[in-house]
Structure 1
Amino acid sequence: MESAPKRRRVQRSPSPVYKLDDENESYEPYVPVAQRRQEKLVKLSSWGVNADKDKSKSQQTELDEREDAFREEELRREKARKERTLLMEAQEVHLRKAAEDAQKTEGEKAEEEDAEILEAIKSRRKLASDLELAKGIHYTDSLKTSWRPPKYIRDRTPEQHQKLREKFHILVEGDDVPPPIEHFEDMKIPDPILEYLRSQRIISPTPIQLQGIPAAFSGRDIIGIAFTGSGKTLAFCLPLIMMALEEESKLPFIRGEGPVGIILCPSRELANQTYENVVTWCTALAKSGKYPQLNALLCIGGISMNEQSHVMNKGIHIVVATPGRLIDMLEKKRFTFNNCKYLCMDEADRMVDLGFEDDVRNIMSFFKRQRQTLLFSATMPRKIQDFARESLIQPVLVNVGRAGAANLDVLQVVEYVKQEAKMVYLLECLQKTPPPVIIFSENKNEVDDIQEYLLLKGVEAVAIHGSKSQEERQYAIKAFKAGGKDVMVASGVASKGLDFNDIQHVIIFSMPKEIEDYVHQIGRTGRSGKTGIATTFVNMNTPEQTLLDLKYLLMEAGQKVPPFLSTIDDPRAARGGALTGCPVCGGLGHGISNCPKLEDTQRRQMASHRTADDGGGY
């Protein structure tokens, strides 16, 4: 059998492999001819536009580069200026100031230093309540009252009013000042008070009353400055009595209501004296039967307020107080100031000074409405006046004589007495005038020593100073006023505002450092138009600056200057320039840079800060 022929394997060519996903392979899709022509035509037409865009873009880039370069240059110059300010301009300012100082006199330099110190110690906050300060409450108009001066006085010209002020040496400052009035009757004061004043031989108003009472009756805030014994108490008490009388006549007060007004005093003795005057005048009104009884409350430390429960159980019209006890009563809500609209501060410079300012501000925080504020003193330095002007509403400043000047009715005698000879010479001085006599000393122990010495010599003497109890102080003043004692030896506590009858002689055993204390002390005599003598002992222990203040005060008052005072030269005179008084204490013999009062105030502040840092001490 024939085998089948073998098939031959046919070799096929390999199938083509398509690399469709190969990214490296360039693939150009088919574009129709018409579309290619259209694209070419568009490209040719847009070539000129793109050329313009490229050109403007290059110009903008160039402009940006220029601005960046300019900015960098400015930064470099600013840096250079700063380096110059820190390093070079300080030296230039120093050299320029040194050149200016070289041209100034010593006097001008001293005046600039004084101005800088005064600016530094100026009070920052106004004398207003915390509520008013917090809410920004600011009164622009004075308190409105129903009082008006008589028509014939209103019809006078401002020139006539000014002529009357000049006649009585009254200086006024302020807007729309009420007119001065020469007679009590024209002030529309009730007849019972006029009769009482006549019984006390008070016939016509003193200069401070002549201008001060009409201004207070008009509802104006007042800064009243007048020498000691010039009748300031009547000038601020009478307007309050009339205001309280008007309120009581409208609607009688019942328990828990009042007071209408408050009188603040720096010492218990002065508050007690003012209270007695207010009670006397209110009693004179009530005795007539035409007017209601006005109730006054004495609010001072050292006495029990339960003794005045008969007043507390009625409506209170007037409160006379010292700051500490008044704050205590207000905090206990024994009475409120909800309807109180009259605030007077007697010896106001002391009330604002020496730590009283915070107490006064605390008291003001209890007021709920606008009030009429009156500040009165014999010595009110410029610093206190400026502070008061900022705090009061359209104030009227009434000034009779220079603030801090001595009473011209007092004959001032200054004698050089050695320390060991003072006691013996004191007995000789007591022979100059009949009793009563007041002797002042700044040292409490010295007050007790003088009293003991006088008692041993058979002189009836009492002593008063801050370390004695309130009962002892009241007994001493009452016995002396009643004539039971011939001599009262006192520290500065009795020098502020106290009025004693017929004091012909005041002896200053140790001269106070602050000249305004001296002015108050000699002001215990020569009151209400009477004359008196003030004998002052000085020696080597008295600071020369205090003697210089005393010398200028004697010269201003036209008094005899003893030879040992005449030889004291003022160092400020050598520096040239005008000699002005100290704006802090009013002393004429020194500037603010070496004021003893300012030094004492700063010392107290530092001591209080140390006590606070130590946790209050033990």
Structure 2
Amino acid sequence: MSDAENGTAGYKRRRVQRSPSPEYKLDDDDNYEPYIPVAQRRQAKLAKLTSWGANADKDRERQQREEEQEREDEEREEERRREKERRERTLLMEAQEVHDKKAAEDAKKTEAEKAEEQDAEILAAIASRRKLASDLELAKGVQYVEPLKTTWRPPRFIRERTEEQHRRLREKYHIIVEGEDIPPPIENFTDMKVPEPLVKFLKSKRITKPTPIQLQGIPTAFAGRDMIGIAFTGSGKTLAFCLPIIMFALEEESKMPFTRGEGPVGVIICPSRELATQTYENVLTWTDALAKGGYPHLNTLLCIGGISMGDQSHVLGKGLHIVVATPGRLIDMLEKKRFTFDQCKYLCMDEADRMIDLGFEEDVRNIMSFFKHQRQTLLFSATMPRKIQDFAQQSLVKPVLVNVGRAGAANLDVLQVVEYVKQEAKMVYLLECLQKTPPPVIIFSDNKNEVDDIQEYLLLKGVEAVAIHGSKTQEERQYAIKSFKSGAKDVMVASGVASKGLDFNDIQHVIIFSMPKEIEDYVHQIGRTGRSGKTGIATTFVNMSTPEQTLLDLKYLLMEAGQKVPPFLQSIEDPRAAQGGSLTGCPVCGGLGHGISNCPKLEDTQRRQMASHRISDDKGGY
């Protein structure tokens, strides 16, 4: 092929490979973009950038809100989950955890520490008792802050003594006092301003000077102070609380004689009929001595169950100065309005630990509800454990505690002899023991049937014996006490009813046929001898049936009093000593051989409470 032809062919190929010319559709407006000037485009771009900045701030705020909302939702969800878990957990699981935690803590403690903690928990549980006051006072929140004022003042020379001189005098007589502004101790009745006829009468009965409890207790009561008086049996507590009430009644009577419906000025409450009768007779004796000396005659009422109040209508028909009563009959008379406490300003409770313990506490509250004004309150006993002292102190107004010796300690004038006697040999050995001293003799047993058996056995053996216990009628009880006091009978066999506060003349020997479980009862029983400074013997029978804990209490009591401890008692070991614990006395009953966790008195109280609840439940059903 020629060069011309080749050129022509190449041209054709190039024409075929050239891109096609664009086709313009001027009539299509969909994608048409009109021309926008540059300045206008710049302004639009700037506006767009500005809007992006504002939107960014909004986005950030919105994002923060969303994050917070998510956190709240997560927290709510977590709370719901925990609540669900709590609902699903059982009390048993929680108790197990608490138990495991306590077990881990207890593993680090000694046995003594555990016992002390347990005792503290029990004491705290029983200590939460209502204040000893009337329901009206408790409801209105009435609280007396100052003691009652009286007209009595000690002589000038006693007021001028220093506190150091008072302290030395108290130490001389082994008197322990607690409280604010304690009145001074006074060593003779004349300086106490006791009327001369009564001082002469006391001297005729060989009472020439005050006993330690009287030396501090009478001035305290004369000064109008609330008082807790603790002293061993036979120490003269009766005169210490009777003399103030007699003097206050004399003062009121001398101002203006009492007429029918007026009075009483004061009341003395006792836990048993026998003790109330004995106190009443003492008051009559002392008021009669004053009346013979030219002082006004005072009317005293005995208010106890088992006697007809019609026999004392001659007393009720006149102005009433002093009432000596047991709780049940006193409440009955107050409810029947035979007399009122509108003018009563003096309340004394003898054997007060029994009176305000769980047996009588509600009765005492009921009696207090009849008082219309503030009263002076005195509590006396030979045995008053710390628990009762603490409870009493919160119920009294600036009380003064007067303590002669340890509360619950035995009388040091009593020789205590403890004998190991088998149960079947007791009756025979009893006859041998009666030969130790001349009559009169008291024999104690807590079992009423045993009391009757002992009396019957002694009568068969030709011994003049009488018996007294709670199941006997009032006439039988009065006959037993009168015939024994008069000397017509040589021996009195008694249950615990005769152990509290009763005063018999010249008792040289007390035999405890069966050892009581509570050491307090033992202290009261042996206290029927060795009274008013005299000496006496107490023989106690024990054997295998006597609880070891009671024997341990007895062992410590003998050691405290400096008495001989027989070998079989010496051999009894105290489990608290093995644990390394402190050998402090029980705060509930005062026993030295045990703690509160195994206190027989507390166990007996709880048993009585459960029995009373069961009785009330049974009455509620059909």
Q: TM-score, normalised by structure 2?
A: 0.88
> Of residues 122, 126, 134 in structure 2, which corresponds to 1:121?
126
2: distance between equivalents of 1:297 and 1:318?
A: 6
SS at match of 2:191: helix
Stretch of structure 1 that moved more, 54-63 or 558-567? 54-63
> Of residues 385, 398, 401 in structure 2, which corresponds to 1:381?
385
Tell me, yes or no, if structure 1 residue 367 matches structure 2 residue 365.
no
The Cα of 1:179 is off from its aligned counterpart by 1.2
Q: Is the 8 A contact 1:526 1:532 kept in 2?
A: yes
Tell me, yes or no, if structure 1 residue 162 matches structure 2 residue 167.
yes
Tell me, yes or no, if structure 1 residue 473 matches structure 2 residue 477.
yes
2: distance between equivalents of 1:340 and 1:438?
A: 38
The Cα of 1:99 is off from its aligned counterpart by 3.5
Structure 2 partner of 1:17: none
The Cα of 1:123 is off from its aligned counterpart by 4.2
Q: Given the superposition, is the C-alpha separation of residues 59 and 152 from structure 1 closer, same or farther in structure 2, using an over 3 Å criterion?
A: farther
Q: Given the superposition, is the C-alpha separation of residues 554 and 310 from structure 1 closer, same or farther in structure 2, using an over 3 Å criterion?
A: same
Tell me, yes or no, if structure 1 residue 147 matches structure 2 residue 152.
yes
Tell me, yes or no, if structure 1 residue 540 matches structure 2 residue 540.
no
Q: Given the superposition, is the C-alpha separation of residues 111 and 184 from structure 1 closer, same or farther in structure 2, using an over 3 Å criterion?
A: same
The Cα of 1:344 is off from its aligned counterpart by 0.5
Structure 1 partner of 2:619: 615
Structure 2 partner of 1:284: 289
Deviations 1:153-192 (A, max 9, x none): 1112222111111111111111111111111111111111
The one-letter amino acid paired with 2:594 is H
> Of residues 340, 350, 353 in structure 2, which corresponds to 1:336?
340
> Of residues 577, 583, 591 in structure 1, which corresponds to 2:581?
577
Deviations 1:236-283 (A, max 9, x none): 111111111111111111000000110000000000000001111111
The Cα of 1:425 is off from its aligned counterpart by 0.8
2: distance between equivalents of 1:401 and 1:579?
A: 18
Q: Given the superposition, is the C-alpha separation of residues 259 and 104 from structure 1 closer, same or farther in structure 2, using an over 3 Å criterion?
A: same
The Cα of 1:124 is off from its aligned counterpart by 2.1
1: distance between equivalents of 2:384 and 2:470?
A: 23
Q: Is the 8 A contact 1:123 1:387 kept in 2?
A: no
1: distance between equivalents of 2:54 and 2:319?
A: 96
Number of residues of Structure 1 aligned to a counterpart in Structure 2: 571
Deviations 1:304-362 (A, max 9, x none): 00111110000000000000000000010000011111110000011112421011111
2: distance between equivalents of 1:370 and 1:450?
A: 49
The Cα of 1:214 is off from its aligned counterpart by 0.9
The Cα of 1:563 is off from its aligned counterpart by 0.8
> Of residues 312, 317, 335 in structure 1, which corresponds to 2:316?
312
The one-letter amino acid paired with 1:234 is L
Q: Given the superposition, is the C-alpha separation of residues 64 and 158 from structure 1 closer, same or farther in structure 2, using an over 3 Å criterion?
A: farther
Structure 1 partner of 2:213: 208
Q: Is the 8 A contact 1:258 1:340 kept in 2?
A: yes
> Of residues 347, 352, 360 in structure 1, which corresponds to 2:356?
352
The Cα of 1:68 is off from its aligned counterpart by 3.5
2: distance between equivalents of 1:577 and 1:496?
A: 33
The one-letter amino acid paired with 2:216 is Q
SS at match of 1:488: strand
Q: Given the superposition, is the C-alpha separation of residues 192 and 61 from structure 1 closer, same or farther in structure 2, using an over 3 Å criterion?
A: farther
1: distance between equivalents of 2:51 and 2:201?
A: 113
Q: Given the superposition, is the C-alpha separation of residues 532 and 61 from structure 1 closer, same or farther in structure 2, using an over 3 Å criterion?
A: same
Structure 1 partner of 2:29: none
The Cα of 1:195 is off from its aligned counterpart by 0.8
Structure 1 partner of 2:44: none
Structure 1 gap segments, 5+ residues each? 1-48
Deviations 1:484-534 (A, max 9, x none): 111111110000000000000000011111110000000000000100000
Q: Given the superposition, is the C-alpha separation of residues 54 and 180 from structure 1 closer, same or farther in structure 2, using an over 3 Å criterion?
A: farther
Alignment of 1:72-87 (within 5 A): 72-75=73-76
Alignment of 1:175-186 (within 5 A): 175-186=180-191
The Cα of 1:92 is off from its aligned counterpart by 7.1
SS at match of 1:186: coil
SS at match of 2:244: helix
SS at match of 2:384: coil
2: distance between equivalents of 1:70 and 1:146?
A: 79
The one-letter amino acid paired with 1:272 is T
Stretch of structure 1 that moved more, 317-326 or 64-73? 64-73
2: distance between equivalents of 1:591 and 1:82?
A: 45
SS at match of 1:237: helix
Alignment of 1:289-308 (within 5 A): 289=294, 291-308=295-312
The Cα of 1:79 is off from its aligned counterpart by 6.1
> Of residues 444, 451, 460 in structure 2, which corresponds to 1:440?
444
The Cα of 1:71 is off from its aligned counterpart by 3.7
